[in-house]
Amino acid sequence: MSTIEKRGFDPNQVSFDQGVERIRLAADRLQFDQAEGVVTSKDAVAQRAQRLLTVSNVPGGFTKWQLPVLLTRPSQMFITVAEPGLQVGEHSHDEGDGIRFIASGSITFDDKELSSGDWMFIPAGTRYSFEVGEFGAVMCYCYCCCCAGALDLFPEQVVDPPPFVVGP
């Protein structure tokens, strides 16, 4: 009988702050600085972190680990459905960090194919681009910024929206 079966599943054993400290200690041990650039689940540091940040407090049949990154501000969540073969040009999210999870399909970033279950963390202000795979993609984003456009605001909220700029 496993420890979890003896004790029972209890997701309230460790505080939020203790979880944050666990991630910080792991990042220190891995010599990983999340502000240095985009990191994905395909990167070696993320795979080492997965082993280091495995969580034993889960019901039978589950495997769980913390990601080695933190969103340090309140965040907003989005779901995106992308058509096959689309190319998202180089851009950045200057207001805050973000993380993207691939729910289905795939995208290619920096010659790495990210598919269902993969993720990528994007530090604030980091420029990146990607291409959607041949079957499209469904993604969940969690950003410390709002990715909506000025035209998505209610008309009474729009005050001289900035022009949309393509490219650097």
- Does one domain contain both 88 and 141? yes
Tell me whether residue 52 is in a domain. Answer: yes
* Structural domain range at position 94: 76-146
Q: Minimal CA–CA distance to 144: which of 125, 165, 167?
A: 125
> Helices H, strands E: what count in the chain?
3, 9
Pairing of strands 98-109, 128-143: antiparallel
Task: Write out the DSSP string of 79-140.
Answer: EEEE-TT-EEEEE--TT--EEEEEEEEEEEETTEEEETT-EEEE-TT--EEEEEEEEEEEEE
- Does one domain contain both 59 and 81? no
| pLDDT for the residue 167 | 46
- Using the 3D structure, point to which of 65, 88, 109 is the last residue of a domain: 65
| pLDDT for the residue 168 | 47
| pLDDT for the residue 149 | 77
Q: How far apart are CA 32 and CA 46, in angstroms?
A: 9
Average pLDDT by consecutive 10-residue portion of the chain (168 residues)? 61 91 96 96 96 91 93 91 95 94 98 97 96 97 84 65 50
| pLDDT for the residue 152 | 75
Beta bridge partners of 27: none
